[in-house]
Amino acid sequence: MGYWGGKAAWAFSIPETNDTGLEALSGNLYSLLGRVDDSLFHAQGRAYQLLHWQDTHRYCGRCGSPTSVIEGGRAVACDDCSMRVYPRISPCVIVLVSKG
């Protein structure tokens, strides 16, 4: 999904039973605010968005066939018609306008 702390970072879901042997914090993203440093919180936000996008794009919108994750998780491709789908990027700008 990118880099965090100068090292490659990967996002994956851990089942609630967490029998993976990995140490992990559980809870929704909002519950982690203030419990982890800001750079990790932002990385977790990006990971959540990418995992949610992959989960909701398991099938091709053109032909309905299953898709496969490609390009290190930054795209999915249809196994039959080869259509590629990338996550939608919706940038946002927040501005404060004050008088004086």
**pLDDT of the chain, 100 residues: tens digit per residue:** 778 788 888 777 777 776 777 776 666 788 888 888 888 888 888 888 888 888 899 999 999 999 999 987 789 999 999 999 998 877 788 999 999 7
Rounded (to 5) percent helix, strand, coil in the chain: 25, 20, 55
Q: How many domains, the chain?
A: 1
Provide the whole-model pTM. Answer: 0.69
Q: How much is the pLDDT for 25? A: 63
Measure the CA–CA gap between 71 and 73, rounded to whole angstroms.
5
C-alpha distances in angstroms, 86 versus 9, 89, 92?
19, 9, 19
Residue 41 lies in a domain: yes
Whether the Cβ atoms of residue 63 and residue 80 lie closer than 8 Å to each other: yes
Q: Alpha-carbon Rg of the chain, whole angstroms?
A: 17
Whether residue 9 lies inside any domain: the answer is yes
The residue type at 10: W
Considering the domain boundaries, does residue 61 fall inside one? yes
